[in-house]
Structure 1
């Protein structure tokens, strides 16, 4: 008897993630992940796009949920999108990631909080020229390719 089983049947459906470059001067906000994918790497704030949400709405919601920063008065720009398949992780997955950008005023007074300690070891500002290691794979790949999130 011939086996007609789909070899991809056990693989998860691709998901849409939104990641946010939050820039202040020449620094950006990064946190160390606590997750099955990219555990202990430094990544941007962000999360899953919910049904009916715009990229901007998702970016603002996820940043507020994770860090307490309220971006409602800030312009949130689309930067780029990436296609990432994680076959080497404990939990195989496929993400289309939408990268957004928010440029905070140099005098921004909001304090960053770690509101999801089960998902992140903490947030901090890192100088663009001295980023921590290891970076989350998709972010590292973008930066090694010459991507620069700072406006001209």
Structure 2
């Protein structure tokens, strides 16, 4: 059996003008039951900003703008149901409408969305996000 090839993921710190970010509990063969940011795989030919906006819209129905690069991680997940290697690009975006409410548009992939104060993400945390937290990244 060959080793899986690395994939590129994009995680998005969706900010609502305060020190809070949107997180959800994953339902996946990778990181199942852990808390993570909205995000997904980078599509061929897509910019990081385009991927961030698309994934947030697909998963939550929210529109974001002022999207900026934050951090990158390199995570080998050997102990998952499906061993994986991800380069995760973290982006930050602001809500276009600060009063918009997140919807769970992919309930097969996420248990729902909630706002939490950064960096106080509930345990267990998805490993790439844990690396971002451990970097001491500050929202402001």
* Superposition TM-score, scaled by structure 2 size: 0.92
2:25 is aligned with 1:32: yes
Which residue in the other structure is 1:75 paired with? 66
Deviation at 1:21?
A: 0.5
Out of 125, 128, 135, the position equivalent to 1:138 is 128
Q: How many residues align?
A: 139
> Which structure features the higher share of strand residues?
2
For 1:57 and 1:129, the matched residues in 2 are separated by: 25
**What runs of 5+ residues in structure 2 fail to find an aligned partner?**
none
- Is 1:45–2:35 an aligned residue pair? no
Query: 1:115-137 CA deviation, whole Å, 9 max, x = no partner?
Result: 00000000010122643111111
Root-mean-square deviation (CA, aligned residues, Å) is 1.5
Structure 1 residue runs of 5 or longer lacking an equivalent are: 1-8
Larger Rg computed on CA atoms: 1
Once residues 96 and 37 of structure 1 are traced to their aligned partners in structure 2, the CA distance between those partners, rounded to angstroms, is: 14
